[in-house]
């Protein structure tokens, strides 16, 4: 499974998410990962395809 990262304002990400949903493409929308988060929190927010 390929992974594509798209960054942009929330409105743009919402439109892309709706497009993907309408075309039956599995996806996740993950908020920005700030530098104030612990490594464990960052790891939990990643969609690991091989688990």
For residue 42, the model assigns a pLDDT of: 58
Distance (Å, rounded) from C-alpha 31 to C-alpha 28? 10
What per-residue string of b and e applies to 26-43 under the rule 16 or more CB within 10 Å gives b?
eeeeeeeeeeeeeeeeee
For residue 27, the model assigns a pLDDT of: 80
Write down the pTM of the prediction.
Answer: 0.51
Distance (Å, rounded) from C-alpha 39 to C-alpha 51? 18
Please, what sign has the CA dihedral across residues 29, 32, 44, 48?
positive
Cβ contact 11:18 at 8 Å: no
For residue 2, the model assigns a pLDDT of: 76
For residue 49, the model assigns a pLDDT of: 60
pLDDT in tens, 7-38: 777 788 888 888 888 988 888 877 665 555 56
Domain boundaries, the chain: 1-30
């Amino acid at each position: 499974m390929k992974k594509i990262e798209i960054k942009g304002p929330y409105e743009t990400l919402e439109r892309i998410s709706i497009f993907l949903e309408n075309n039956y493409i599995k996806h996740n929308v993950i908020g920005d990962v700030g530098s104030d988060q612990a490594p464990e929190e960052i790891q939990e927010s990643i969609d690991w395809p091989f688990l």
